[in-house]
Homo-oligomer: A and B are copies of this chain.
Amino acid sequence: MNRAGRRTVNAQIRCEPMVADRADTLRTVAADVSDPPEDRTALVDLLGVLAYAELCAFDRLAEDARMAPTLAGRTAMCAMATVEFGHHRRLARRLEDLGVPPAAAMEPFVAALETYHALTEPATWLEGVVKAYVGDGMAADFYREIAEFVDPSTRALIHEVIADSGRAEFAVHEVQAALAAQPAAAGRLALWARRLVGEAISQTQHVLADRDALMRLFLAGTGMAGVSALIERITDRHAERMRALGLTR
């Protein structure tokens, strides 16, 4: 069932105006972040959310592969799914090394990620391809930004598990071929991409609002002035992907 229509598209990030005392509070939070137990909570959260994201990515790519019009397309998407599962395993192993059961670390993020996927269930093969590239691409950009705020070994692991591994090329090829045959499909796909972005932002906000340590890591890393620059970088990269697909934002 495609439940993507249930919610309205919300591709705007609502940034509340900064007032002085809120900025002060956030600076205090930022100063606290060197506290080791807090660091560890944020690290476990980050590995946990990524581990569950990879497991969901496996699930969804495996499911969407069934819509492929060709066996070659189907196996290409199955291959992406297995790559994601490999990433999940690496993250789960890192959590085990930290003495944290992966299931416990993932559990707080199950609802948000399941909600994202339930609200963005592709109805067609092309929607699945665009989701695998645009949706996952944006998530990867976000994790890449956060990776800057953790220790080098965790950062290297995150960079590794969010690597694109040929997905861009595959998506561009599939979408451009489809649009060449059916130019009118572009508007619908562009709208679909907007919905993906809206739901991704919405769920990210829920996660950050729920997980103090992760929010503190994020704010300590970016600094208050850095948040909008980060959003701009992510938005720019999103626009690049849309252009590569031949879709307007």
Contacts and interface: CB of A to CB of B under 8 A. Distances in A.
A75 B62 contact: no
Q: Is the interface of A mostly helix, strand, loop or mixed?
A: helix
A246 interface: no
The number of times this chain is found in the oligomer is 2
Given A62-B62, A62-B63, A78 B85 contact: yes
A92 interface: yes
A237 interface: no
A27 interface: no
Interface residues of A, number: 25
A86 interface: yes
Given A62-B62, A62-B63, A82 B75 contact: no
Interface stretch (A4-12, A65-73, A184-192, A201-209): A65-73
A92 B63 contact: no
Contact of A58 (B62, B88, B107): B62
Interface string A70-107: 11101100110110011011001000000000110011
B79 A85 contact: yes
Given A82-B86, A86-B82, A106 B71 contact: yes
14 contacts: A55-B74, A55-B78, A58-B62, A59-B65, A59-B66, A63-B63, A71-B102, A71-B103, A71-B106, A75-B89, A75-B92, A82-B82, A82-B85, A82-B86
